[in-house]
Structure 1
């Protein structure tokens, strides 16, 4: 049996109450820095600011399990199986703490030891010989470090070893800024950040896997608020190195498409031995730390290179209940039907027109003028098509004006914050139509109390349709219906795009400027690239353009590029060219 998911994962992301001296109050959903562990035949997903964890039997359906035993506002939770139990730790403003659980569903987490190290973004790793290690670091100036831990006391054995530091002069992807363009900060907060950080990246989010006799030390950069947030890797012969940088880095990167970013995550195997990478994706509109979770097929090739398949990584994706090929069997075969589809609505707030629900950006959204149930958004796809699935992405618009103020605020990096403990209902009704007159309901959660901010609806059978309508029931905190993406997937009755031939030049050691002629019938392009023609492991999804400047390259390496045109019918692979 094949199951299907679509990024961002549809999780009951918890609302945050964040107060800062510079930005005031923000209330928004957030989850980030995910760790997934397969423990006793079940998957557990721990993420920052969740006040609990999610569990799943199949990597498709996830259920939130609240917990009052693990720290609610300690960032970047790390959970590993150590000596037959789950070992939990997370970032703290002071020395860390370790918690143990043998039955997480019973919320039996018990603090078993303090750490003698003050760490941020921790990762524990137990090697095949039983020895235990700790890695940590989240800084624009300090390296990621590692040390062995005593398995009984969880105190360090010996001195920490510096392992990873930034090298932006040779690694383009570590440079800060959207599209690798330097940030221009403004206002008082901008001056503070310029003085504190400048343009240095944050090197953070360590995670270690052992595969055969190789140790893969993964890390994130340059910053969670950028579309360029990504994960790279070093490879070594021992748990504390020495490690060598892998020039295929970043192995996880998603700078284009509906939702961007794929950094600070974890790499794990499912029950069938398939590898997956789970990572942080950004919204970062209401606040820099407004984020979501993405899941990607991953693996290690015959040369031992760690990769993620992130082609069309926010389109429907198969999660087979068996071993599968992450390159040839991941796509569910559905293309986007709704890009720039004509959108109308029952009403609209000024500055938030219906067209913002079809522009393929999670960072813009349509907002109904009222907060009354019954507001609706309607799409005309322009022609009949075979509809396979839909995704309704809700956004948070001025939620702080409605949400009650939490009184359990705790200190955060800047200011104070609390996590709302309860879910918020998101009732919607989704209908399809051939003529815009007769409608069939394909999904209805109005009155069900369901919390699904990124509802992904797979149809049991392909349905022919031209029109789509989604109607609001109850919304979080009684707010207005707000949609960042009403996305429709399937196959349209159009020819495949023409073949695309990419050209350009290496502008400098870290940057390539690409251009190509528009392919007939193409809606957008998937730009693939890598340091060998057989390993085009990176991708960048773009719309409405025939050029792209890629600033993520590693100096000292040749790169190959291909531009694949796509539309409602499918994808046409482009010609692979080398640019030096």
Structure 2
């Protein structure tokens, strides 16, 4: 009897131990998964953008960030942005803190240039007047900038570059007439510029369709602008990046010419433009800079258009950048305003696979004003917005995803409507609460920023734990602006249905004007949109154009004498279809 009891007790003991072990294993697994959660980011970048003073005399108030010059200095990163009254600092290219330097341009720098010389000195220049000294410091966190005793005249959109041999150059260009130009600088004589001006290259819109002016390159009367040179040295080649055709357009992008010497001769890259994002929620990728991040991964920063209050209303974006075996430089802008894995992670630069769950879903709100209705928050246009009747803590917006889905991240893009704010304003903050529900009755908090003290105009939050929900509710607590206006309440994750099928009926008709082509395909009921992919070889489909709720595209971005290869994929909240077989188009 005693023996049998002992066996029973032992059996019970092992069962309990097994359950405890299983629990510990599950806990350990959950802990491991949580510990390995990778940091992500989403364009447009969530910076505390400065309010501009360009149009203050007309009472036009708006934030803007454009023309980013991003450089690494002593293992950390600095971002200089037009008219920002200071600059940003980061240790990881993802989280940025604003620095108000001891000394700086009174009206902010304009299209600034920055260069790290052997980690000893950081150089910056970019006076709005066009006449400028080169500033330098060995302590950019303090910002005790000094100026070399020499003035460079008649420059706009400068780029300072010092080669490995110590020779310095200044490049510049912002014109619909003049080319990208250069002078040599003598570092040993106060950066004295050469008398000689070197003309490098200009736009050639008769050959390069993407350099034509206007939204979708539709303006055939005005010439495009060539702007913002930025020189990157890679593999003993010099990659001179430049922007075209105009910062306010969806097709603003960066091209590149390549040379064996900083002063040329330069060769046009056949896969241009190399940074180009004409479709989706936020458009544009031009007038940027390229920097090397963790793991020798390159990143290209650029300007995105908002252009609602005024054409110069912009935001900053970043895209992973690569050089292929043939030395072609390119950026990855596919799903370019969806979440991607951040710099320094094991998957840095990759698309997370989190789809947009909120596209065209039903929205209910606490109030509406000025005819700016709630559906504007889910139409995937940064130019439209919901305007609430007040900016207090009684305002809310609720999205019905129609079906349960797993939510991974949320982006809130606030809009400036009659903000009446100018310059760098301290103490701005956004406070809110986001709740989720499966049935619309029982709610759980998934993001709590009620006590947030940060200014987050393009807020992006990746949830610590994914939430399976159907309803998402934003509850306003405080915004720093006189009005509550939101251009995009974007919910990212994975739906539980099927991804679209492979697209059928895809055709590309290249016009007699070889810069232009009309693309068409069979519409899919279950698809929200499509990615057009094209490039100069079947394995070099480096460019992407996102199209929502349509089955045609007039593309005016092509080079006249270039053979292209095209493919297409469909997507919805559940995933992405297989791509069609690549098509050659001569």
TM-score (norm 2): 0.90
Give the corresponding residue for 1:189: none
Post-superposition CA distance 1:446-469 (Å, at most 9, x none): 343320011111011111011111
Partners of 1:68 and 1:376 in 2: CA distance: 41
Cα deviations by residue, 1:281-325 (Å, 9 ceiling, x for unpaired): 010110111000001000101100000000000000001525757
2:54 and 2:169 map into 1 onto residues whose CA distance is 34
User: Which residue in 1 is equivalent to 2:322?
Assistant: 299
| 1:97 alignment partner, SS class | coil
The corresponding residue for 2:213 is: 176
Deviation per CA, 1:507-527: give whole Å up to 9, x if none.
Answer: 121011000012352111011
Higher helix share: 2
Q: How does 1:19-58 map to 2 (within 5 A)?
A: 19=55, 24-58=58-92
Q: CA-to-partner distance for each residue in 1:201-226, whole Å, 9 max, x for gaps? A: 11010000111221101100000000
- SS at 2:53 equivalent: strand
Instruction: Say which is worse superposed, 273-282 or 502-511, in terms of deviation.
Output: 502-511
Q: Residues of 1 paired with 2:222 and 2:343: CA distance?
A: 42
Q: For 2:86 and 2:369, locate their aligned partners in 1 and report how far apart those are by CA, in whole Å.
A: 35
Partner Cα separation in structure 2 for residue 279 and residue 350 of structure 1: 32
Q: Deviations along 1:163-182, whole A, 9 cap, x unmatched?
A: 12111100100011111111
Name the SS of the counterpart of 2:539 in structure 1.
coil
Please state whether the residue corresponding to 1:473 is helix, strand or coil.
strand
Q: How far is 1:436 from its partner? A: 1.3
Residue deviations 1:386-438, cap 9 Å, x none?
111000110001113xx4xx6xxxxxxxxxxxx23425222121111111122
- 1:475 is displaced (CA, Å) by 1.5
Deviation at 1:445, TM superposition (A): 2.4
Cα distance, 1:332 vs structure 2: 1.1
Local SS of the residue matching 1:17: coil
Within the candidate set 463, 485, 488, 1:485 is matched to 488
TM-score when normalising by structure 1: 0.91
8 Å Cα contact 2:247/2:312 also seen in 1: yes
Query: 5 Å matches for 1:52-131?
Result: 52-71=86-105, 72-83=107-118, 84-131=120-167
**Residue 165 (structure 2) pairs with residue 165 (structure 1):** no
- Partner of 1:578 in structure 2? 584
1:155 corresponds in structure 2 to 192
CA RMSD of aligned residues (A): 1.6
Structure 1 94/458 Cα, relative in aligned 2: closer, same or farther at 3 Å?
Answer: closer
Whether the 8 Å contact between 2:130 and 2:156 is mirrored in structure 1 is no
From the two aligned structures, give the one with the greater strand fraction: 1
Instruction: Determine which of 381, 401, 405 is the counterpart of 2:401.
Output: 381
Name the counterpart of 1:190: none
**Residues 132 and 152 of structure 2 are in contact (CA less than 8 Å); yes or no, is this contact kept in structure 1?**
yes
Shift of residue 20, structure 1, vs aligned partner:
6.9
Q: Out of 4, 9, 12, which is 2:48 matched to?
A: 12
| Structure 1 residue 73, shift from structure 2 partner | 3.0
Question: Is the contact made by 1:447 and 1:473 (CA closer than 8 Å) also made in structure 2?
Answer: no
1:309 to 332, 349, 361: 332
CA offset digits 1:207-266 (Å, max 9, x no partner): 001112211011000000000000000000101001011121100000000000000000
Question: Counterparts in 2 of 1:403-414, with a 5 A limit?
Answer: 403=421
What secondary structure does 2:44 align onto?
Answer: coil
C-alpha displacement of 1:109: 1.4
Once the 2 structures are TM-superposed, how far is the Cα of residue 56 of structure 1 from its aligned partner? 1.1
Per the TM alignment, residue 67 of structure 1 is displaced from its structure 2 partner at its CA by 2.5
What is the aligned partner in structure 1 of residue 3 from structure 2?
Answer: none
**More displaced, 26-35 or 102-111?**
102-111
Contact kept in structure 2, 1:173 and 1:553, CA below 8 Å: yes
- The alpha carbon displacement at 1:559 in A equals 1.1
* Range 421-430 or range 343-352, more displaced: 421-430
Higher RCO (C-alpha 8 Å, min separation 6): 1
Indicate whether 1:143 and 2:166 are aligned.
no
Tell me if structure 2 keeps the 8 A contact 1:95–1:114.
Answer: no
- Given the alignment of the two structures, is residue 398 of structure 1 paired with residue 413 of structure 2, yes or no? no
Residue 557 of structure 1 is matched in structure 2 by 562
Preserved contact between residue 99 and residue 141 of structure 2 (Cα < 8 Å): yes
Could you tell me how far 1:541 is from its partner in structure 2?
A: 0.6
Q: Could you tell me which of 261, 279, 301 is aligned with 1:238?
A: 261
Match of 2:375 among 333, 348, 355: 355
8 A contact 1:378–1:470 mirrored in 2: yes
Aligned to 2:210, the other structure's residue is in SS state helix
> What does residue 437 of structure 2 align with?
433
Gaps of 5+ in 2: 1-35
Q: How many residues align?
A: 544
**1:202 and 2:225 equivalent?**
yes
CA shift digits 1:523-557 (9 cap, x unpaired): 11011111211111111111110010110001101
- Structure 2 distance, partners of 1:384, 1:116, is 60
Q: Give, in whole Å, the separation in 2 of the partners of 1:119 and 1:447.
A: 45
Asked if the contact 1:125–1:133 (Cα under 8 Å) also holds between the matched residues in 2, the reply is yes
By how many angstroms is 1:272 displaced?
1.6
Q: Distance in 2 between the 1:474 and 1:16 partners?
A: 22
